[in-house]
Structure 1
């Protein structure tokens, strides 16, 4: 009967390599499961349906980041409020993990719930900010909330640390909203958020977006926003629909070195004409 060969340094090295390989596989599987959970959590918290309202056209595009655990908390939302006006929100939660995705759901749900109490954008952001602080989370979020009257095209918006929206008119004029924003949600209690007013004319569009669309390692935010402004002007002048414009804008996210979520929300209006552009 052959005798067992005593273990030498080579055998110990092989055993150590097998152990390290098994540990690496376990960590990779855990990481993959966490990413899948975060993405599923994100998608489950985004709205399934968009408002179907005469004179208004709403379109969205969303691309989650999928590098390692780099899955964040960008969101969009669009819903009809009790007074018949449309509520639109878009935002970005600090961080890229499961906690960020869960916090995103709290912000979005809080905005919807409080919109039944007050639909005035500035007051709504103030109340949402205080609500988030009462939850005791260390996270914060940037956000834009818009209230749109479908019958008139009048749009009122307030920003909490978020990038401004882009607008365009049917004659090809386009630009970036010059509204005054407030601080992000979840940082300090009792904050106030100024409200800006804008009127969408026939064929006009407004584009709400997160910074993952216009900023990244390969693109400065100013250049990214300028690109969206040009796209919006061309699309509006050519009469392209909201859905086609949303698809074109989200494609621009490929230019940023996409390491972040990217969300786009476009709303167009077929209402009566009025004076175009930002309103005092």
Structure 2
């Protein structure tokens, strides 16, 4: 929802979690296909009774309500999609940008083999479902760069998709009310709407999507992917933080961008119709 004024645009990002899409066949996956990966939260307890209330799957990380048929169905759908998307068998030719003790970062370009592009499409679809909404389409697919963080156990636990842009818009940072704890601050940031200027500022790189598996967060995976992006987006150049804009960030994405950029007044893009890529 946009509320336009002469100097700023207000974006209400308190999105309701949308339900993951069905498989391409249009039917829900068979329950048996997930049983081998079933979590302790999902299974019956020692008394033969199913758990109730909110539980988190320790395989796909989805938070859902046990004993709620609709929630359990959506968990099955997302769980199967997640298992397929994050599995990484490895490729003979990988464009490795960085290696770490806990994994490596590779880059996939639009001219890469079809099997690599198919994996990126599969991951992007899963990421959109995990984020809870359908992201805006890429402006120019032929100029995108996709970074994947591959863990040592051959799983895709991080994804960053970047594209070339011309302009970004500065987030207008609001003063926080008197807040006693860090937890209250985070809760407030997640619930409030945010404003940004309508005055365009030059930008080079747009981060369309940035995702880290929920059970692998707070391990600097997203930060390391952005650092690699800044070094490899344009050959021979290292992008500054001022040259990067984030596409319509979620509440958690806004908190991350604020922390990474060192300010709540970072650049955003891709929420105003009609903006074109370079």
The structure richer in helix per residue is 1
Place the TM-score, normalised by the shorter chain, in its bin. under 0.3
TM-score of the superposed pair, with normalisation by structure 2: 0.25
Q: Which has the higher contact order (CA 8 A, sep 6+)?
A: 1
Structure showing greater radius of gyration is 1
